[in-house]
Amino acid sequence: MRRKDRQISNISDIESIILRCDACRIAFADNNTPYIVTMNFGYLPGEKPSLFSLRT
């Protein structure tokens, strides 16, 4: 995490954010060219929570 002051580490806060969303945007850079991938996702809470992308 680049900005520790913006980091969210409480699992309840993270799950609250995840449950309000229907898409996830992940940013990358390839040869200094930025791009964003938008994905639908699923989330399974529990002892070993899982976040996974959904294909349409």
Number of domains the chain is built from: 1
Task: Output the DSSP codes for 5-55.
Answer: GG----HHHHHHHHHT-S-EEEEEEETTEEEEEEEEEEEE-SSS-EEEEE-
Residue-wise pLDDT for 1-56, tens only, equals: 678 899 999 989 999 999 899 888 889 999 999 999 998 999 998 899 898 887 65
pLDDT for the residue 46: 87
Residue-number span of the structural domain to which 8 is assigned: 4-54
pLDDT at 24: 87
pLDDT at residue number 22 = 87
